[in-house]
Amino acid sequence: MTANGAPTGLTQGSTTRGGIGESTLRPDGVLKVTGEFAYASDMWHEDMLWGQILRSTVAHAEIVSIDTSEALATAGVYAVMTYDDLPTDVRHYGLEIRDTPVLAHGKVRHHGEPVAIVAADHPETARRAAAKIRVEYRELPLVTDEASATAPDAVLVHEHRTDHHSGHVPHPNIVHRQPIVRGDADAAAGRADVIVEGDYCFGMQDQAFLGPESGLAVPGEDGGVDLYIATQWLHSDLRQIAPVLGLPEDKVRMTLSGVGGAFGGREDLSMQIHACLLALRTGKPVKIVYNRFESFFGHVHRHPARLHYEHGATRDGRLTHVKCRIVLDGGAYASASPAVVGNAASLSVGPYVCEDVDIEALALYSNNPPCGAMRGFGAVQACFAYEAQMDKVAAELGLDPVEFRRINAMEQGTLMPTGQRVDSPAPVAELLRRVKAMPMPPERQWESSEGADVRQLPGGLSNTTHGEGVVRGVGYAVGIKNVGFSEGFDDYSTARVRLEVAGGRPVVTVHTAMAEVGQGGVTVHAQIARTELGVAEVTIRPADTQVGSAGSTSASRQTYVTGGAVRNACELVREKVLEIGRRRLGPYHPAWATAELLLEGGKVVTDGGEVLADLVDVLEDEVVEVEEEWRHRPTEPFDPRTGQGNGHVQYSFAAHRAVVEVDTELGLVKVIELACAQDVGKALNPLSVVGQIQGGTVQGLGIAVMEEIVVDPVTAKVRNPSFTDYLLPTILDTPALPVDVLELADDHAPYGLRGVGEAPTLSSTPAVLAAIRDATGLALDRTPVRPEHLTGTAADQDPPGGARNVTPSAPPGALTKSHTARGT
Amino acid sequence: MRVNLTVNGRPQEADDVWEGESLLYVLRERMGLPGSKNACEQGECGSCTVRLDCVPVCSCLVAAGQAEGREVVTVEGLAEYARQRAEGGATGARGATGVRGGESASLDAARRWQARGTDSQTGENIELAPVQQAFIEAGAVQCGFCTPGLLVAADELLEHHPDPTDEDIREALSGNLCRCTGYEKIMDAVRLAAARRSEGAGA
């Protein structure tokens, strides 16, 4: 009995054409529109049990006792496990620092931490049994912000750190700290005609992928386990799972099941180990599916941040220096915090020329929810602040904000604050020019022949205005994001490509472990194979651990790196095919030896276009298969004191123009249009590229005006873990999204492509904020902006002690004061 | 308890249904129809949208018992439902209200969506509802988790409102969250399906 819903290969080609550069349709599209595509939560197995996780109800506490007896005695319950039931001494996991307990041991460090797991024959039985587990907690003082983390008597979130960052951080409650010092910012400040300081506050965003964490673990007859799972990186999961189970990696057979979005939230493990543990304990297949409430606790979030910036400029509009300090709250476990710090620091100045910088970025350990990877990864928080600063400086200088950016825009050859030279196109000024040149949406666009269409006004169908008190604003922003894993990480991918004759025609099979999370990697892999091998019919095999690692579907890297690996493997296959051809057919035509040979249309052709042979005749029954790793250029770590180093592989750039209309009486914002211009190097699939840009843009819109996980500053508990209380942009909140795609090749990258997915999430948020500032004249130094920030009522609504974990909009400087006064 | 209902035109029964089970759970876990998705289970995201006696509902908010004796259409049955509607027989569209003009005239249009290929493993030879075809072609599908609910909602919109304005589309789909696309290509897909339909109707 195999698992129901296990993925099969995706074959396209008998009717689908399309090499790179074409908008080939998704090979999984039909399955997805007919409901046939099996997501991890759709997996089913005969005799399957359901797993449930019991999570901590408090943020920081000693566990005095756990009593599972009543849960175990419940009819239908097959197993209850706690820390004491773990099979080996490896009881922690983590992406970089293995600080996360599989199940809590003696202590919980954040609200919602897994404490015990249950397997039962019905999900409701499992839920009710979990609720019968009695856990006695003795609460501990909380670390909730920088002040409480680094106070002289601060409670340590992790008491005995031995990780490789612990030696260089100034305090054990700091996960990692990265300074970047270049030039002499203090001396440069002396040359400035204007100096602008600002304090900014960035709320905690959730990835809110729609398919909750889920998977199915099936125990094997060999003592191993088969895990069908929605993840971003199978092999990273495998390295963390196998030691906890006490199994060799080849006995943990992982297959990617359908993934309902990711956005960074599936980089860390969620229910993987728990499902495997229960399956191995009970000898039965175990499925775990989080509901939305649990999903909010089941993955890391985007780091909330406090940022202090100082920018200086001369009267003619040139930046003299930038100083900044970025404090990210990493929450209870490290997750990707060290890498997020590296990104925030190295990208903190934005896409601008500035020789003299003094930068510090750090991530705290706290008892807030753990934070880690989310689309934009450290660059998003920085971009929100530096773009607000650029507007402020422009205003001080009396310059147009786009013109001020243009004057300072970096270009190919510019040195980053890290000293790295940007050695591919950096069309920052051009992107701004393009986005500004797009036609503006008409004024009073809500007016129709029948009066105001309230659906196009702030407040929408709430019918709160027919245009009275509505003010328009326009804002611009531009950002810079790195592509690929950085700081010396061995960032590679593996592809296995096979070419053979089947059914009388040549067919290609591509096998990688790349996690298709919706981005369209499977589409692009087939396009690459068609382009390189000239074969229409391509099968994409399910991603699993039977092939080498593809690295993570993160950091805008998969088309670059796994796409590069597929191309590389195809090239090797082509060479082998041509070798076979030369051996078999070379004697019959001199061009086999003398001409440059290509594979096109199922044939071997010369570069002059002469057909030498059909692939079918070249191959006959021979199967050509290659599996090969592929790497991009190596990177270097940043120097721990100066931050200097060629830390990044590639940079990507996007610019936005936001047009908003604000009902200034009620503080309601409607984004009317959010236009984007982005350089993608080469659009391998233009339809998918535009989809990525629009999707990323709207996630940035969400940060600007809607989305925030609210953590109670007194209890460190999450207050809004649902789609009722955590507001995601709906189709009504989302405007027209015109996109202008620029293609300036990066000669270092496959086909000249540039990673696409993240850059649009950066500049979207500050563009919307700039537009709201333009409409209202308010300073607005935090995000998301809520109605109370626009109506001057925010301070009154925030009682002492704080109703939320972030300080509302206030004049620059006030943030620090209220932060200190809170003294949590 | 036992629950009897008609799903995608077929009588179905489920035994041993616990009183607290939702229609969504029964469809997914007891009837082998996991196309309807479980993204929030509190009626906020629309991923579980099905037609219940023609009315679009969040099946996560319908107790299974409430569906007793009623007709359900899920994404798995959407193509057949659209086909029957286009042919005017529309047993599946029983009780549908609103603008019905051009229904029979769109038959030709419906035929044009038929399979243009034989790529079996991707299902490219499957006959699709016009709105399903449009979602694929317009790039409205990324991760696809929201897609089943959106398709049911968009198909219902076009059934009643063959030529919707952008504001009509946004209003009709406002109960369906999508996290991947930013909605623009979903707008494109519904516009495309509507345009083809009116083209077909006028032909």
- Answer yes or no: do A757 and A615 share one domain: no
Size of interface A-B (CB pairs under 8 A): 216
User: Does residue A36 have a pLDDT over 80?
Assistant: yes
What residue in B sits closest to A213 (Cα-Cα)? B39
- Answer yes or no: do A451 and A520 share one domain: no
What are the structure tokens assigned to A19, written together?
A: 């090499």
A residues 520-539 lying closer than 8 A (beta carbon) to B: 520, 539
What residue in B sits closest to A700 (Cα-Cα)? B182
Q: What is the pLDDT of residue A501?
A: 98
To the nearest whole Å, the CA of B16 is away from the closest chain A CA by 11
- B38 with A212: Cβ contact below 8 A: yes
- B144 with A260: Cβ contact below 8 A: yes
What residue in B sits closest to A739 (Cα-Cα)? B184
- Answer yes or no: do B189 and B151 share one domain: yes
| Test mutation, A505, A731, A733, chain B, max B CBs within 10 A | A731
Integer Rg of chain A from CA: 27
To the nearest whole Å, the CA of A677 is away from the closest chain B CA by 16
Q: How far apart are CA A543 and CA A10, in angstroms?
A: 11
- Answer yes or no: do B62 and B98 share one domain: no
- Answer yes or no: do A471 and A609 share one domain: no
- A13 part of contact set with chain B, CB < 8 Å: yes
Site of tokens 């790179």: A20
To the nearest whole Å, the CA of A694 is away from the closest chain B CA by 5
Q: Are A351 and A426 in contact (CB under 8 A)?
A: yes
Backbone dihedral region for residue A54 (phi beyond 0: left; psi -120 to 50: alpha; all else: beta): beta
Q: Three-class SS of residue A130?
A: helix
| Test mutation, A30, A510, A724, chain B, max B CBs within 10 A | A30
Average confidence (pLDDT) over B139-149? 98
Q: Domain range for residue B138?
A: 76-202
- A463 part of contact set with chain B, CB < 8 Å: no
What residue in B sits closest to A518 (Cα-Cα)? B143
Q: In this structure, what CATH number is given to the domain that contains residue A293?
A: 3.90.1170.50
- Answer yes or no: do B93 and B193 share one domain: yes
Inside any domain, residue A362: no
Q: What is the pLDDT of residue A801?
A: 37
- B39 with A210: Cβ contact below 8 A: yes
- Answer yes or no: do A768 and A685 share one domain: yes
Inside any domain, residue A395: no
Q: What's the mean pLDDT when you consider all of chain A? A: 95
Q: How many structural domains is chain B composed of?
A: 2
**Residue A128 exposed, middle or buried by CB count within 10 Å (0-12, 13-18, 19+):** middle
Beta strand pairing status for B49-52 and B55-58?
antiparallel
Q: Domain range for residue A523?
A: 10-16+492-631
What residue in B sits closest to A293 (Cα-Cα)? B40
- Answer yes or no: do A543 and A671 share one domain: no
- Answer yes or no: do B98 and B64 share one domain: no
Q: How many structural domains is chain A composed of?
A: 3
- Answer yes or no: do B86 and B134 share one domain: yes
- Answer yes or no: do A426 and A521 share one domain: no
- B18 with A122: Cβ contact below 8 A: yes
Q: What is the pLDDT of residue B125?
A: 61
Nearest to A734 among B148, B171, B183 (CB): B183
Nearest to B38 among A41, A518, A732 (CB): A41
Inside any domain, residue A342: no
Average confidence (pLDDT) over A316-326? 98
- A32 with B144: Cβ contact below 8 A: yes
Q: How far apart are CA A402 and CA A433, in angstroms?
A: 8
To the nearest whole Å, the CA of B162 is away from the closest chain A CA by 19
Sheet strand arrangement including A739-742: A470-483, A650-663, A668-679, A739-742
State pLDDT tens for residues A4-16.
Answer: 888 988 988 655 5
A residues 273-332 lying closer than 8 A (beta carbon) to B: 289, 291-292
A residues 197-226 lying closer than 8 A (beta carbon) to B: 207-212
Inside any domain, residue A697: yes
The predicted complex's ipTM stands at 0.94
- A209 with B143: Cβ contact below 8 A: yes
Q: What is the pLDDT of residue B105?
A: 33
User: Does residue B116 have a pLDDT over 50?
Assistant: no
State pLDDT tens for residues A642-674.
Answer: 999 999 999 999 999 999 999 999 999 999 999
Cα distance between the two ends of chain A: 55
Q: What is the pLDDT of residue B99?
A: 32
To the nearest whole Å, the CA of A755 is away from the closest chain B CA by 17
State pLDDT tens for residues A721-749.
Answer: 999 999 999 999 999 999 999 999 999 99
State pLDDT tens for residues A59-94.
Answer: 999 999 999 999 999 999 999 999 999 999 999 999
User: Does residue B82 have a pLDDT over 90?
Assistant: yes
Q: What is the pLDDT of residue B91?
A: 46
Inside any domain, residue A104: yes
Q: What is the pLDDT of residue A16?
A: 55
- Answer yes or no: do B53 and B64 share one domain: yes
| Test mutation, B37, B72, B179, chain A, max A CBs within 10 A | B179
- Answer yes or no: do B60 and B96 share one domain: no
- Answer yes or no: do A498 and A479 share one domain: no
- Contact list, A673 vs chain B (CB under 8 Å): none
- A130 part of contact set with chain B, CB < 8 Å: no
- B121 with A11: Cβ contact below 8 A: yes
Query: Where are any strands of DSSP class E within A337-469?
Result: 357-364, 371-372, 447-448, 451-452
Nearest to A14 among B35, B117, B187 (CB): B117
- Answer yes or no: do B177 and B104 share one domain: yes
Q: What is the pLDDT of residue A151?
A: 95
Q: In this structure, what CATH number is given to the domain that contains residue A666?
A: 3.30.365.10
Q: What's the mean pLDDT when you consider all of chain B? A: 85
Instruction: State the pTM of this model.
Output: 0.94
- A502 part of contact set with chain B, CB < 8 Å: no
To the nearest whole Å, the CA of A759 is away from the closest chain B CA by 15
Inside any domain, residue A22: no
- B169 with A731: Cβ contact below 8 A: yes
Sheet strand arrangement including A107-108: A107-108, A61-67, A134-139
Q: Whose CA is closest to A632, among A576, A575, A558? A: A558
User: Does residue B110 have a pLDDT over 80?
Assistant: no
Q: What percent of chain B has pLDDT over 90?
A: 77
- Answer yes or no: do B69 and B85 share one domain: no
What residue in A sits closest to B140 (Cα-Cα)? A691
Average confidence (pLDDT) over B78-90? 88
Nearest to B74 among A12, A35, A209 (CB): A35
- Contact list, B151 vs chain A (CB under 8 Å): 33
Q: Are A658 and A387 in contact (CB under 8 A)?
A: no
What residue in B sits closest to A698 (Cα-Cα)? B182
State pLDDT tens for residues A608-626.
Answer: 999 999 999 999 999 999 9
- Answer yes or no: do A534 and A456 share one domain: no
User: Does residue A811 have a pLDDT over 50?
Assistant: no
Residue-wise DSSP of chain B: --EEEEETTEEEEE-S--TT-BHHHIIIIISS-TTS--S-SSSSS-TTEEEETTEEEEGGGSBGGGGTT-EEE-GGGHHHHHHHHHHT--STTTT--S--TTTGGGHHHHHHTS-----GGGTTTS---HHHHHHHHHT--SS-SSHHHHHHHHHHHHHH-SS--HHHHHHHTTT---SSS-SHHHHHHHHHHHHHHHHHHH-
Q: What is the pLDDT of residue A821?
A: 31
Q: How far is CA B99 from CA A541, B111, B156, B157, in A?
A: 45, 21, 11, 10
- A44 with B34: Cβ contact below 8 A: yes
User: Does residue A819 have a pLDDT over 70?
Assistant: no
Q: How confident is the model at residue B197 (pLDDT cuts 50, 70, 90)?
A: confident
Q: In this structure, what CATH number is given to the domain that contains residue B168?
A: 1.10.150.120
- A261 with B128: Cβ contact below 8 A: no
State pLDDT tens for residues A230-285.
Answer: 999 999 999 999 999 999 999 999 999 999 999 999 999 999 999 999 999 999 99
Q: In this structure, what CATH number is given to the domain that contains residue B31?
A: 3.10.20.30
What residue in A sits closest to B28 (Cα-Cα)? A42
- A35 with B75: Cβ contact below 8 A: yes
Residues 6+ apart with CB under 8 A from A116: A53, A54, A66, A68, A71, A80, A81, A82, A103, A130, A133, A135
Integer Rg of chain B from CA: 16
Q: At which of B51, B74, B97 does a domain end? A: B74
Q: What is the pLDDT of residue A9?
A: 87
Q: How far apart are CA A287 and CA A51, in angstroms?
A: 6
To the nearest whole Å, the CA of B118 is away from the closest chain A CA by 7
Q: What is the pLDDT of residue A278?
A: 98
Q: Are B196 and B128 in contact (CB under 8 A)?
A: no
- Answer yes or no: do A109 and A239 share one domain: yes
Q: What is the pLDDT of residue A184?
A: 98
Other Cβ atoms closer than 10 A to B111: 12
Nearest to B145 among A13, A210, A724 (CB): A210
A residues 416-435 lying closer than 8 A (beta carbon) to B: none
State pLDDT tens for residues A97-146.
Answer: 999 999 999 999 999 999 999 999 999 999 999 999 999 999 999 999 99
Backbone dihedral region for residue A771 (phi beyond 0: left; psi -120 to 50: alpha; all else: beta): alpha
Q: Three-class SS of residue A37?
A: coil
- A33 with B141: Cβ contact below 8 A: yes
- Answer yes or no: do B94 and B122 share one domain: yes
Q: What percent of chain A has pLDDT over 70?
A: 96
- Answer yes or no: do A591 and A676 share one domain: no
Other Cβ atoms closer than 10 A to A296: 23
What are the structure tokens assigned to A69, written together?
A: 């007896």
Q: Whose CA is closest to A234, among A686, A465, A551? A: A551
Q: What is the pLDDT of residue A737?
A: 98
Average confidence (pLDDT) over A512-541? 97
- Answer yes or no: do B129 and B53 share one domain: no
Is the bond preceding A179 in cis, omega lying within 30 degrees of 0? Answer: no
- B38 with A737: Cβ contact below 8 A: no
- Answer yes or no: do A243 and A108 share one domain: yes
Q: At which of B48, B74, B100 does a domain end? A: B74
- A38 part of contact set with chain B, CB < 8 Å: yes
Q: What percent of chain A has pLDDT over 90?
A: 93
Q: At which of B16, B39, B74 does a domain end? A: B74
**Residue A115 is which amino acid?**
V
Q: How confident is the model at residue B124 (pLDDT cuts 50, 70, 90)?
A: low
Q: pLDDT higher for A7 or A437?
A: A437
- Answer yes or no: do B94 and B39 share one domain: no
- Answer yes or no: do A622 and A719 share one domain: no
Nearest to B143 among A36, A259, A696 (CB): A259
